[in-house]
Each structure stands twice: as C-alpha cells, then as structure tokens.
Structure 1
Amino acid sequence: MNYVEILMRTILAVGLLLLIPRILGKQTLSSMTSNDFVTSITLGSLAANLAFNISLKSSYLVLSLVVITAISFLLSFIALKSRSLRSWISGSPTVLIEDGKIMEANMRKIHYTLDSLDQALREKDIFNIEEVEYAVLEDNGQVSVLKKEAYQFVTKQDLGLQLQSQVFPVELIMDGVLVEDNLKRNGLTREWLENELRQKQKGKSLADVFYAVRGTRQQVVFDFYEDGIQQPLDQE
C-alpha cells in the first residue's frame, strides 16, 4: 500500500507544481526575483515531502502548498500596485558600473565580486571593461550592459539603409504535421504551401517536410526528413 500511496502523492505533487506557475504567471519562470526564489524553494521542499514523506498527511502538505501559492500571488499583486513596496518584495536593480567607473561601494553592499562582474560581462561578449558605460545588476540576477558609444554596433538606421517591415514568424509544419490553425489564422492554404514547396524543391511533397516556417520577411523555409548529408556530425 505504501508504494501505491507514494505513487498517488507523487502524481499529486507534480500536478500541483505544474498548476502553480500558471496561477503565479510566466514571470516566475522567466525572471526569478527574490520573492520568486523563496517561493520556488519552499514549494519544491513541500512538493518533495508530499511525494515521499508518508509520515506527514498529504492534506497538510497540500494546504501548505495552497497557502504559499496564495501568499506569493498576494505579494506579486502588491508589488504590481505599490512601487514603494516593490523593491522590498522583489528587490531593486544595483548599478555596478557608472560612467565607465566601477561602483565598489554598491558591489560591497550586495556582496558582488569582481570575478562575478567579469564573468557577467564575458557572457555579454565583452572582454574589455573599458567598453562599458553602464552595467546594472537586475532583480533576477542578470547584468544589463550599455556600451560606450564608440563600441556600439552600427545599425541599418545609422548607415541610412532602407528599412524593411518584418512580421512574426509562423510555423506551418511541425514534426511533419501540418499546423492547420496557423494557416487559417494567417489566411494561408495548403495549396499555397504546396506551391511554395514546388518552387523551392521540385519533386518533394509535404510528406517529405519535417519543419516549415514563414520567416520575418515572409520567406518560406523548409527542412526535410532526408537532409542529404552523407556523414552527419555528432552521430554517436
């Protein structure tokens, strides 16, 4: 009976962990603030006990999960409505580099080391700190960087080139299956897609296509099951 109970409790724990992020919102997954960090650790501990600790009643643990979720949701709501409380609940950004100068006092205050700063800059493809005008440690632990103007990339607008409008990519075939909803939503048809395929690759049919997408410039890109690569890399 213990095996059956553990199985049922584990399924319940996984189900609750899948449900809770939908209640708290996508921000919990995309950018974890201090509130989200504490909530995640607590929920993980409670879910683990719910799954395996049969000495504790499952109803108590489910109640704890519900309460923690409600508290986290309430704190997120308060942070959304009150700017003054937002920094206390979610934390606030910290300036690490200002006007090209390292803010040692700010770094000491948050226990942020030069090694961590160097690593964060390298992750932004910056190996020379002299390129940085501003660097800010965000609430989620990521570092945002503004380069000095001399080291910024040149854009088409800077060069005076003609700018073309772009659209959001539309996936037309996924895993060999035609995505009918995307076709209808964008006013496209199967016949149109087959015609595009004939223009791109003669002798191929939609059954040969593994993936197809209409790109940002409305160009259609196909990827086929048969790639024609005789010796693919990483095949072991």
Structure 2
Amino acid sequence: MHAYWDILFRAALSILALLLVAKLLGKQTISNMTFHDFVTSITLGSIAGNLAFNESLKTSYFILALIVVTAVSFLLSYIALKNRKLRNWISGSPTVLIENGEILEHNMKKLRYTLDTLAQVLRGMGIFNMEEVAYAVLEDNGTVSVLKKEEYQFVTKKDLKLPTKTQHFPVEFVMDGVIMEKNLENHGLTTEWLEKQVKRKGKKLSDVFYAVRGTQHQLFFDFYEDNIQKPVDKE
C-alpha cells in the first residue's frame, strides 16, 4: 500500500514540477516548438515520467535534473537572444520552399519535406492550386507561411478606398456568469450600467453567462437559456 501512495505522490509532484518549469520557461516553449524547445520538452517529459514511476532513484535526483535542464534551457534562450548565428543553430532558421512561384527542390530534399506534405499544408490554408503561391516558407517552428501572388490575394478596404473605423481590443464583462468588476472599473463602467444594458434585452444580470464589448464597442450577451428548441449535439 505504501508503494501506491509513493507513486501517487511522485506523479503529482512531477506534474506540479512540469507546470512550474513551463511557467518559468514561458509561453514560447508551448507555442513555438523550435529545435531547442522540442529537445527541452522531450527531456523534461522523460525526467517527469521517471520521477513519477522510477522508485529505484531518489526524488531529489530528479528534482536536481529538472533544475539543471531548466537552467540550461534558460541559458540557451539567452544565447539565442544575443547571438544570431548561434540562434540559427539552437532554434533553427526559416527555409524557403517556393520562391516566385517556383518550387525549390533542393531545399525540399535537404529538409526531407515531400510535395505531398506541402500540398496538404497548402490545402489546410484553402490553397488547392499551387500556382497561386508566390512564396512559401517553412518556419523554424515547423509551420508554413505563405504569400499568395498578387492576383490571388484578397481585396481589402484600403484597396477599395472604403472608410474604416477605429478598432478596440474586446473587453469581457461577464465570464461563466461571474461579473468581471475589474474590467468594468478599468473602463470607467459600473455594474449598474451593465445591469441596464441587460434589462434592455429583457433579462436579468443573473441570466448572463457571457458578456463582451467587441472591437466596435458593440455589446454581445450570451444567456444561460438560449431558447434553442433542437440544439445540435455532436459527440
């Protein structure tokens, strides 16, 4: 029975340790999986897994290993920030796959990146005809960035010389039924003001599940009772 409790403790400790390390390393580790981030993630996962189940080694050894890996990762991130040449080696560098509409076979072969994979990625961007692409770049985090040829690009309001409005960052006033009083206060608004806006909809504040002021200062409310007779339910 003691072994079970020990495993439970070590497993919980490994998860908490990984969460702490992820917080310390920052969002980039999970958002931009560069070579450096990929190796760090695998190493940390391996250490955490052993911490949870390998009873033959002391817990302190694993904690020390986590500290060392985190410190080395910090150091590599700092070096990459200060030195461009070393940054290319540590994190990788972008590679052009299509230039001026021409596929660069040499770069594709060097990366072992197949035409099937490239076509699949382009389809995921809504591009089914490769002749629409002016440039395609494989970024250091494995994603592909695409610049379409001018004749295939979307028309913007600027192109049509249409008037534009100032956009604002959306502000949430109610989340999961809880009033975000700090957000109201930061924008010079009150709960009473919000309540008046809800009353205009024929509802009470307690009926609101989600409320947000959008980019054009328009208010959007979602209520607990949606009055949808046959909601779509996909499992």
Partner in structure 2 of residue 44 of structure 1: 45
Distance 1:80 1:124 in 2: 31
Distance 2:36 2:219 in 1: 43
Query: Which deviates further from its counterpart, 181-190 or 150-159?
Result: 181-190
In the TM superposition, what is the alpha-carbon distance from 1:29 to its structure 2 partner?
1.2
In the TM superposition, what is the alpha-carbon distance from 1:57 to its structure 2 partner?
1.1
Partner in structure 1 of residue 212 of structure 2: 213
Q: What SS does the aligned partner of 1:218 have?
A: coil
Distance 1:62 1:131 in 2: 52
Q: What is the TM-score with the length of structure 2 in the denominator? A: 0.97
- 1:234–1:159 Cα change, 3 Å: same
Percent of residue pairs identical: 65
Q: What SS does the aligned partner of 1:12 have?
A: helix
Aligned-pair Cα RMSD in Å = 1.0
In the TM superposition, what is the alpha-carbon distance from 1:198 to its structure 2 partner?
2.4
Structure 1 residues 159-174: aligned runs within 5 Å = 159-174=160-175
Partner in structure 1 of residue 60 of structure 2: 59
Distance 1:198 1:7 in 2: 51
Distance 2:141 2:80 in 1: 15
Deviation per CA, 1:34-67, whole angstroms, max 9, x where unpaired? Answer: 0000010010011000011111111111111111
Structure 1 residues 196-211: aligned runs within 5 Å = 196-199=197-200, 201-202=201-202, 204-211=203-210
- 1:146–1:235 Cα change, 3 Å: closer
Partner in structure 1 of residue 84 of structure 2: 83
* AA matched with 1:57: K
- 1:54–1:212 Cα change, 3 Å: same
- 1:61–1:208 Cα change, 3 Å: same
Distance 2:15 2:99 in 1: 45
In the TM superposition, what is the alpha-carbon distance from 1:140 to its structure 2 partner?
0.5
Q: What SS does the aligned partner of 2:209 have?
A: strand
Structure 1 residues 178-197: aligned runs within 5 Å = 178-197=179-198
Partner in structure 2 of residue 29 of structure 1: 30
Q: What is the TM-score with the length of structure 1 in the denominator? A: 0.97
